[in-house]
Amino acid sequence: MFHKRRNRMKTITDTITLALPAVAFPMAPERILFFDIETTGLSPRASSLYLIGTIHASGADQYTITQWFADTSASEQEMLTCFLEQLEHYDGLCHFNGRTFDIPYILNKCDKYHITPSSHCQEILSDTTQTRSFDMLLQLRPLKKLFGLAHGAQKDWEQFIGIDREDIYSGGDLIQVYSSYRQDLLLHPEQAAAKEHLLLLHNHDDLIGMLHLVKVLTYRLLLTRKKESPARIEHATLLERRPGCSAATISFELSAAVPRKVHVTAPIPWPKLFRDQPQKELELTLEHSLGLLTIPCVHEELKYFIPDYKNYYYLPEEDTAIHRSVAEFVDKAHRKAATAATCYVRKTGDFIPSVSGKIDCDGLLLFQQEHRDKLCFAALPEPASEDDGSSWLPAYVAAQLGCFL
């Protein structure tokens, strides 16, 4: 750790080694700056900014921490200038609750000192779309209820993935510590040094903790329905199942490992016909780079509704639809123009529900009980079939994962 004093401000730098999944970063790791501030209160007009900390990638699994620490409130302007100068070199900014607190506080202090951020910095600081300025609190909020976290504060997420920090204080606790530090600077220098360590340590651990939370974003990427998500299902295999079994299990590999084993469930909106199923929910287990998805399996006759119904005829006596090119050979008395609700073919077999509805996989047919049903089903391969489902199972799993958020 290196200390350098500039007038009434100290600059402290440190380097840490930490392996993180690059795929989980909101943009390329070398292009993003993480930051956190410490203040003597919530209102920028009635409090002082005494510490700005940043952390950024500086090599393979290497991250550099920079902290600007104020001995007096007269250092605020210098700290702001140093922070903005560093931000010039990055394309994105990452923070925890920064959209609500840190960034408005910084911008208010800039106004106070007539500091005008460059257009590049202003574009990042004013972003509310999560494309240049990434608030980890907002990114992780959809996971809070799923994983049973009561509050979702940064320390809660750190504990969730097993991160132990040396710092034991909250930002609010340290307001009094900083006030006491200022008083001790002249009268009790040795006590001031110990309190300075506590102040720097809290910010230091906040920055490192934020980096660790990048790992938690892996869950968010996996449980999203966005096609462009960088965290993907690499391979999926239908595990051995017995004919007539009430559930099927799919094992799959992840392109990015998760930091902690989780087991979660999601409800299935069963239509009336299936409400007596012994298994009512989807079950998902994620551990390291492997996953298991357990799905209820039904043996039933279901219908595939053909989208291009205007080119089909419905045969009431056979309860099926055929293409008009074939229907020409059927007596007109035994056929009628198909509608969206009657343009179907029937299939009996084992099916698994697709709670997410449509699956992005060419050639995969989805079946329903009735045309307006929201719940769709994918037909499982016959036990003796050469089709093992490997061509569509990854797309099926990826679609179902979006149901857990």
Is residue 331 in a domain?
no
Is residue 328 in a domain?
no
Contacts with 258 (C-beta within 8 Å, 6 or more apart), sequence order:
215, 218, 219, 222, 286, 287, 288, 289
48 and 92 within one domain = yes
274 and 156 within one domain = no
153 and 44 within one domain = yes
Domain residues for the domain of 203 are: 2-215
Three-point CA angle 262, 30, 23, nearest 5°: 30
**Helix, strand, or coil (residue 155):** helix
So what's the pLDDT on residue 345?
A: 97
Q: What residues form DSSP beta bridges with 67?
A: 12, 53
100 and 172 within one domain = yes
400 and 275 within one domain = yes
- What is the rounded end-to-end Cα distance, in angstroms, of the chain? 41
Q: How far is CA 366 from CA 82, 293, 351, 378, in A?
A: 58, 19, 10, 5
Number of domains in the chain: 2
> Which of 385, 349, 399 lies closest to 236, judged by CA?
399
So what's the pLDDT on residue 34?
A: 98
209 and 60 within one domain = yes
pLDDT, one tens digit per residue, over 99-141 is 999 999 999 999 999 999 999 999 999 999 999 999 999 999 9
357 and 262 within one domain = yes
Virtual torsion, Cα 20, 23, 24, 25, nearest 10 deg:
90
So what's the pLDDT on residue 2?
A: 54
143 and 48 within one domain = yes
The CATH number of the domain holding residue 202 is 3.30.420.10
Is residue 329 in a domain?
no
207 and 122 within one domain = yes
Q: What does the DSSP 8-state code read for residue 368?
A: B
Is residue 176 in a domain?
yes
**Helix, strand, or coil (residue 377):** strand
262 and 150 within one domain = no
So what's the pLDDT on residue 242?
A: 58
Q: List the chain residues with pLDDT less than 70.
A: 1-7, 225-231, 240-244, 273, 275, 383-389
Query: Cα separation of 175 and 275, whole Å?
Result: 57
So what's the pLDDT on residue 384?
A: 59
Q: Which two tokens stand for residue 97?
A: 């609750």
So what's the pLDDT on residue 386?
A: 63
Residue the block writes with tokens 């001790």? 184
129 and 23 within one domain = yes
So what's the pLDDT on residue 26?
A: 83
At position 86, the amino acid (one-letter code) is Q
Is residue 315 in a domain?
no
Is residue 62 in a domain?
yes
Is residue 113 in a domain?
yes
Last residue of a domain, one of 215, 247, 268: 215
Q: b/e map of 131-146 (b: 16 or more CB within 10 Å)?
A: ebbbbbbebbeebbeb
385 and 291 within one domain = yes
So what's the pLDDT on residue 116?
A: 97
So what's the pLDDT on residue 389?
A: 64
